[in-house]
Structure 1
Amino acid sequence: MIGYTTLGTNDLPRAAAFYDELFAVIGIQRIMDFGRGYAWGTGMDKPAFGVMRPFDGKPASVGNGVMIALAVDSQDKVRALHAKALALGGADEGAPGPRGEGFYAAYFRDLDGNKLNAFCMG
C-alpha cells in the first residue's frame, strides 16, 4: 500500500550523508535525486524513503506523533541500524528489544529530529 514516505530536512547534504550511511547497513542505496531531495530504496517499483527540503520553502519541522518504521529481516539488523543511527549523531528513543509478542524494535531520531523505528517480526 505505501509507495513512498518523505521527511523534511533543513540541511539536505547532512541528511543525505546520514541516510546514505544508515541505509548502507541494510544494503539500501539512493535511487532518486529530485533536486530538493533524495530517495532510497531497492527499486523504482518498490516502496521508497525520501528526505527533502519542504516544497513551501518554510523550515522543516518534526511532526508530533509521526514516525516511520523500517522493516528488516533480523534482530541483528535492528540492532545494527539503531547503533549506526546513534554513531551518526542520531538520538536514542528506545533501545533494541522485544516490544510485545513477536515484535522486536528499536527507536531513534535522525539529525533533524524525525522519529524512526527499525523492527522485525518473529
Structure 2
Amino acid sequence: MIGYVTIGVSDMARAKAFYSDLLADLDARVLMDLDRIAFFGQSMGKPMLAVCTPYDKQPNHPGNGNMVAINPGSKELVDKLYHKAIELGATCDGEPGQRIPDRFYGAYIRDLDGNKVAFFHFG
C-alpha cells in the first residue's frame, strides 16, 4: 500500500551517505537520485524511503509525531540497525527493547537532521 515515505534533510550528501550505510544490510540502496531527492529501497516495486531538501527551499523541520518505521525482519537486526545508526552519528530516542510483551520489539533514533526513525519487529 505504501509506495514511499519522504523525510526532509538539510544536507543531501550527508543524508545519502547516512542512509546508504544504514540500510545496506537490508539490501537497500539508492534506486533513483534526482539531486534534491533520492529514493532508497530494494526495488522500485517495493516501499521506499526518500530523503529530500524541501521543495519550497525553506529549512527542513522534523515533524512532531512523524516517524518512519523500518521492519528489518528480526530482533537481532533491530539491534544491529540501532547500533549502526548510533555509530553513524544518530542519537538515541529509545534503546532496543521489548515494548509490548511478546508482541512488539523496537528501537528509536533521530537521524542527522532530527527525523525520528524506528526499527521494529512484531512477535
Specify if TM > 0.5. Answer: yes
SS at match of 1:18: helix
1:8-87 matched pairs, under 5 angstroms: 8-87=8-87
Residue 94 of structure 1 aligns with which residue? 94
**Which 4+ runs in 1 deviate beyond 3 A?**
none
Contact 1:10 1:53 in 2 (8 A): yes
Residue 118 of structure 2 aligns with which residue? 117
Contact 1:26 1:77 in 2 (8 A): no
Could you tell me which amino acid in structure 1 is paired with residue 55 of structure 2?
A: F
CA deviations 1:12-57 (Å, max 9, x no partner) are 1011100000001222111111221211111111110000000111
Q: Which runs of no fewer than 5 residues in structure 1 stay unpaired?
A: none
SS at match of 1:112: coil
Residues in 1 aligned to 2:76 and 2:45: alpha-carbon distance in whole angstroms: 27
Could you tell me which amino acid in structure 1 is paired with residue 104 of structure 2?
A: F
User: RMSD in angstroms over aligned alpha carbons?
Assistant: 0.8
SS at match of 1:99: strand
TM-score, normalised to structure 1, is: 0.96
SS at match of 2:100: coil
Residues in 2 aligned to 1:28 and 1:4: alpha-carbon distance in whole angstroms: 13
SS at match of 2:35: coil
What is the total number of aligned residue pairs between the two structures? 122
Identity, in percent, stands at 44
SS at match of 2:97: strand
TM-score, normalised to structure 2, is: 0.96
